[in-house]
Amino acid sequence: MGDPRKPKPKGPRPLETHDHRRYFVLLVGINEYLDPVPPLGGCVADVENLENYLTKEWLTGRADKDQTTDCDDPGIEGAEVDSYGPLHILKLTDKLATYKNIEKAFNLFLRQAHRTEKEGGEVIEDVAWFHFSGHGTEDFAAEGFKVLEPNGKDQAIVCYKEKKEDGYLLMKDKEIAVLLNYVSTVDPMGDKKKFGSPHIVVSLDCCHSGSGTRDFVMDETLKTRFAAIMDAKTRTSLASEDTTRELKDYANGFYASQEKLSVPITPHVALSGCESVQLAGDLPEGGVFSSGLIDALKATKGNLDYSDLYTRSRSFVQKRRGKDQTPQFDIVGDFNPYTKFLDGEPSKSPRKYELKFKDVWRVECGAVHGLPMNGEKKIKMSIQTIDTEPETLGIVEIDGVSAQHSTFSLPKDGSISLDTTTPENYRAIINYLPIPPTTVYVHGEEDGVKAMADAWDNSKSIQMETSLDGIGEAQIDVEVTKEEFIVRDTKHNINAIPEIIKRSRSTRNIENSVMADLGKMANWDRFIQLNNQDSQIADMIEFKIDYFGEDPANKLGTLTKSSVIEAKAGNVIMTDSAMYAYFRPTVVFKNVKQRLYPYLFHLRANYSIKSQEQVLPYNPDEFKGQDVSAIPKPVVTEDIGWGMPKSEDEVTCYFKLLVTTEELEYKILLQEELGGTRGDMVFARKPKIIENDWLALTYKVVLKKP
């Protein structure tokens, strides 16, 4: 597959030195798949829509729109390159989108993108963008890949195939990795690029796996871009030639020739239409993700960086499909996400995180900030000094991610040296796009909006917007009137607490107070989302919460992960002013052979995050000689009482259990409520009310009047 050791293609060598940035865009869309692969309806529309956006909107507003640049035609029969000044677009749709043609387009078209360093230090970085709209799938990997893929599967895009000469039906992720590596390192003639990699973007509007098909409901017009290829029982697939592939059949023997098997890592940004367990929506007018991407770009005239594009396109997609489809942006290699879309120019300063040292080095950024805990993504970060003009000391790789921090090691070659006695002198920049910041729409009186902008604190992972264009819908709405700041939680619809949502503008430093509360609201939401789907201790843990009435022996029921309790006689305790129940959380440890630390958090409707007093960790040494198949352990020493005033109709809280393999500094995760508080109440069986105190399990509990 494009191996530079193969015979070099004929044709002129693309200019290695040129005066202006060039844009090479490969757009692939397939509707007319042949049976048994089901056809789609909006993939060719994606190609047309993206081309129209690039040529009629994005390019027309650019200063370099009239700069004519060179481009060689890759010689694909039936397809040609359309050039618009510096922009060159190659479209492969339906019958043209074969494995062989896509491979050829990478090798003879995208590999023309260069990085040039001119005299005087000027750098001109071309852009190579590959977009695919069509079916995605999973298939069996070659046996030789089991050292890299223990699950024995490849992710793949489904190409058009009518005859053997078209090539394989599936282009696998490991093959795309090789193609990207060549785009980064060699030109179409197979010679090494002198000045390094161009700016590379990959966008895939397809599904990554079939696991999202379970319990999935679509409307009548919506198809999904997933083709079921595998038959796990017989280990066969619709792509029979792919099922029997060996290492030598991947990427023209690239992997078979390696001394140590590894997939090449090429710096680029990867934009994908959905999470790996979701399905990408397909409509006749175009894919949900591609349409959302274009809407976000149109709304901002393309003037945004990849971190902003992530937030905005995600909002547009979820406005159409809610949580059923969540676009993902992955940063691969040392690609900088805080660079402008298709330009690579720096856009803004990234957030910097503190370092600490206690036996090991760690950075104060973890799962609650959006980093993945599964360890599959190798996250890198640069270490800087905290000087006025920071010095970058080098790049390190994160070893492990816990709830609120991550650990890392210094290179063994000694290329980075940090003083363990003064960790406060360093900061880290994470080279990863985690959970997007919470979008806050601030509108109303001009002077109040300006005051909020002046007080804004991006370190709280909240992003201020003064227009919904390019956002679709904000998670928090801040309305500024002459007298008040009115804050509304549009995501969770917690708007029934007047003391929280209405804040007088006459209060001293009110903008800073509102800013603090917005940070708490965003943190509360992120903590609810905190999850580790790949936890290795999940099968060791069973969590249950029973709830009781006045008599501790009178169990009213056991919570499910989303429970509604009707606040009526017999279901709750009623006093003159309140309705409530008591909750008894228990963790059952099953055949656990190491220490585990359980922590229970209570997230209430006033945006507080509380933790009951910590119980002792599970210690297997305590149960030697006993049956340890199911050891129950209460998480609190006394039952939690929770409810609402009789004046309310409904209130929601969340119980969240974190079980960690190491002791957690859980108090860092706690926060007090916003402003004044009403809406829910905490009770205790004893007079004392508890105020303060990673498998993650979450129970949403709604108490409502019937």
What confidence tens digit (pLDDT) does each residue in 449-496 have? Answer: 999 999 887 667 788 888 887 666 788 999 999 999 999 888 887 654
If one counts every other C-beta atom within 10 angstroms of the C-beta of residue 236, the result is: 14
Residues 6+ apart with CB under 8 A from 220: none
Q: Average pLDDT of 134-144?
A: 83
CB 539 within 8 A of CB 591: no
Q: Average pLDDT of 556-568?
A: 91
Q: Which amino acid is at 552?
A: P
Coil vs helix vs strand at 330: strand
DSSP 234-262: TTEESSHHHHT--GGGSGGGTTTT-SS--
Q: Average pLDDT of 397-417?
A: 84
Residue 466 Cα distances to 201, 456, 474, 491, angstroms: 29, 13, 10, 18
CA distance 196 to 185: 7
Q: Which amino acid is at 601?
A: F
Q: Average pLDDT of 325-335?
A: 71
As a three-state string, the secondary structure of 428-451 is EEECCCCCCCEEEEEEECHHHHHH
Q: How far, in whole angstroms, is CA 138 from its chain's centroid?
A: 20
CA distance 589 to 586: 10
Enumerate the H helices of 264-304 as residue ranges: 288-300
- pLDDT value for 452: 92
- Name the pLDDT band for 104 (thresholds 50, 70, 90): very high
Q: Which amino acid is at 297?
A: L
Residues 6+ apart with CB under 8 A from 490: 473, 474, 475, 476, 477
CA distance 519 to 232: 47
Q: How far, in whole angstroms, is CA 171 from its chain's centroid?
A: 24
Is the pLDDT score of 499 beyond 70?
no
- pLDDT value for 502: 80
Out of 48-62, 291-305, 374-388, 674-688, pick the least confident. Answer: 674-688
- Name the pLDDT band for 232 (thresholds 50, 70, 90): very low
- pLDDT value for 683: 63
CA count, 13 A, side-chain hemisphere, 603: 25
- Name the pLDDT band for 279 (thresholds 50, 70, 90): low
Is the pLDDT score of 320 beyond 90?
no
The DSSP bridge pattern shows strands 352-358 and 392-401 to be: unpaired
Coil vs helix vs strand at 667: helix
- pLDDT value for 446: 94
- Reading the block at residue 388, the tokens are 């006025």
Q: What are phi and psi of 691, to 5 degrees?
A: -100, -50
pTM above 0.75, yes or no: no
CA distance 122 to 105: 29
- Name the pLDDT band for 94 (thresholds 50, 70, 90): very high
CA-closest candidate to residue 158, choices 99, 101, 224:
99
